[in-house]
Amino acid sequence: ESLSVGELANKLGREPSEIIKKLFLLGVMATINQELDKDAIELICAEYDVEVEEEIRIDVTDLEIYFEDPDSDEDEAESATEAIERPPVVTIMGHVDHGKTTLLDSIRDTKVTQGEAGGITQHIGAYQIESNGKKITFLDTPGHAAFTTMRARGAKVTDLTILVVAADDGVMPQTVEAISHAKAAEVPIIVAVNKMDKPSANPDRVMQELTEHGLVPEAWGGDTIFVPISALKGEGIDQLIEMILLVAEVGELKADPKVRAKGTVIEAQLDRGRGAVATLLVQDGTLHVGDPIVVGNTYGRVRAMINDVGRRVKEVGPSAPVEITGLSNVPQAGDRFVVFKDEKTARQIGETRAGEAIQEQRTEKARVTLDNLFEQMKEGEMKEINLIVKADVQGTVEAMAASLMKIDVEGVNVKIIHTGAGAINESDISLAAASNAIVIGFNVRPDVNAKRAADEEGVDVRLHRVIYKVVEEIESAMKGLLDPEF
Ligand code: GDP
């Protein structure tokens, strides 16, 4: 806890009177038994060139909760006694102009959470609806960029993806990207065949084209759910929601509302009047106003919470999005948060361990490159090498993917997580970063944004103009025979 002047003097090996004098010079009148706050202790210690090292007395479980692998929720769900069903968290993806935003608006307009009607729509990055007493949370930043950025930071927030495909346009490049992103994250996909109101709508073509990408409709013997909709006219929305709830039920999503809250930052910014504002998605437990909280490498106490219809709330349970204030700094989307039992622990962790550990975690997760591939294989860390293959024409893409998949060195196989014709774009890089993949470009280059993102994320991008060289390079890298001057 805190320290008295006498105790501090003792720790510093000085006379209490000396400390009292120093404090006096710093403008603090103190007696020997006076308890000092942290700032005063730090000031005095600075005078003696002593660094304050706070004793960190925390439950190991707190830290484990904080740093646990987001994918390892399973054991926890089993051991937790009070885990009950929680609403699914849904992301909407698809090609530009296929109707993602319209669908998000349409769902929201028709199904505002009961009892919340009349509230003013707040765009806090996510919203919740209710249908037949069941809730669903939608992340309202459409597109896979946000989805994968979060995943690249280790956050797993999405339970289910709605892939919007316009029936008059069919499968387009970003549709394919979205499929790769969802598959890499192992998130189930429901296809919403949109714009069915258009005379030129051709849902059969959409099904046909998606089948080629592994999404086979149930009617054709597959297991992908297709729902025809018109986001604009609000048609088919009920069926879509029904299907979301169905898939969620199969997924047996659980959380324990009785534990201290933890989850992920959906978005955050600095507000002039309110300071750091963050939208959090509570993934387990219940978050209360006043909770001491560590968010990424910042911390604070939840000062106020506002829900998606602009209402002030005192507590929110699993899968609910909520905007909070009270943090000392602005966290980043994808940062994890955890509530601690007291503010002191939260502050200590926020100031020291969390920051460092997060840093460590980030650097630890060294991206795979062709240069360190062999090392990583030797350490037994890799059983599969993820590749993203881009080329100038589709035929080349397929030929290259086929030859790359044949590579097999010491039981480590090559997995192609995404292919496409055209320049290497930002989506390719973020997918690579999130999935620890190497990007291969054949007769194509990264565009400006992709180049910048690759540098930032440390993603290895390999460019080639001769097919056999591509295979040769990957194969020699896997054998540890890569020519260092590559
Ligand atoms: P996004 O880029 O995927 O978010 O697409 P938007 O939601 O912005 O929609 C692109 C355009 O398609 C807009 O002009 C919408 O009004 C239109 N649109 C979206 N859904 C439908 C639909 O179901 N039917 C028709 N006819 N137009 C739609």
CA dist 116 and 133 (Å) reads: 13
CA of 199 from ligand 1 middle (Å) equals 15
**Pocket test residue of 91, 92, 97, 237 for ligand 1, highest count of atoms within 8 A of CB:** 97
pLDDT at 26: 74
CA dist 245 and 261 (Å) reads: 24
Instruction: Let me know how long the chain is.
Output: 486
CA of 97 from ligand 1 middle (Å) equals 6
CA dist 266 and 296 (Å) reads: 12
Q: Tell me which amino acid residue 409 is.
A: V
Closest CA to 107 of 85, 143, 131: 131
101 is in an annotated binding site: yes
* Closest residue CA from atom 22 of ligand 1: 195
pLDDT at 59: 46
CA of 98 from ligand 1 middle (Å) equals 6
100 is in an annotated binding site: yes
Instruction: Map tokens 């729902």 to a residue.
Output: 227
Instruction: Map tokens 């103009």 to a residue.
Output: 465
202-253 pLDDT per residue, tens: 999 999 999 999 999 998 999 999 999 999 999 999 999 999 999 999 999 9
CA of 147 from ligand 1 middle (Å) equals 21
pLDDT at 355: 53
CA of 412 from ligand 1 middle (Å) equals 44
* Closest residue CA from atom 9 of ligand 1: 99
First to last CA, the chain: 57
CA of 200 from ligand 1 middle (Å) equals 14
Which atom of ligand 1 lies closest to the CA of 98?
Answer: 3
What order do you get walking across the sheet with 408-409 strand by strand?
408-409, 412-421, 384-391, 437-442, 461-464
Which atom of ligand 1 lies closest to the CA of 233?
Answer: 23
Beta bridge partners of 263: 282, 337
CA of 237 from ligand 1 middle (Å) equals 14
* Closest residue CA from atom 17 of ligand 1: 99
In 252-392, where does DSSP find H-type helix? 343-348, 354-364, 373-378
Task: Tell how far CA 6 is from the center of its chain.
Answer: 48
Question: pTM higher than 0.90, yes or no?
Answer: no
Cβ(287)–Cβ(261) under 8 Å?
Answer: yes
49 is in an annotated binding site: no
* Closest residue CA from atom 19 of ligand 1: 99
Which atom of ligand 1 lies closest to the CA of 94?
Answer: 3
Give the binding-site residues of ligand 1, using a 6 Å CB cut-off.
Answer: 94, 96-102, 142, 194-195, 197-198, 230-232
Cβ(254)–Cβ(83) under 8 Å?
Answer: yes
Cβ-proximal residues to 454 (8 Å cutoff; 6+ apart), any chain: 429, 432, 439, 446, 461
197 is in an annotated binding site: yes
Closest CA to 135 of 89, 92, 187, 189: 89
pLDDT at 273: 87
**Pocket test residue of 102, 109, 197 for ligand 1, highest count of atoms within 8 A of CB:** 102
Residue 156 has φ and ψ, to the nearest 5°, of -120, 105
9-42 pLDDT per residue, tens: 888 888 888 888 888 777 777 888 888 877 778 7
99 is in an annotated binding site: yes
User: In 10 A of CB 24, how many CB atoms?
Assistant: 11
Closest CA to 477 of 331, 395, 370: 370
User: In 10 A of CB 30, how many CB atoms?
Assistant: 21
Q: What is the dihedral of CA 143, 173, 230, 228, to 10 degrees?
A: -110
CA dist 109 and 288 (Å) reads: 28
Residues of the chain with pLDDT under 50: 56-63, 65, 68-78, 80, 114, 363-364, 485-486
273 is in an annotated binding site: no
CA of 230 from ligand 1 middle (Å) equals 9
ipTM of the complex in this document: 0.99
CA dist 409 and 475 (Å) reads: 7
Which atom of ligand 1 lies closest to the CA of 102?
Answer: 7
**Pocket test residue of 202, 206, 232 for ligand 1, highest count of atoms within 8 A of CB:** 232
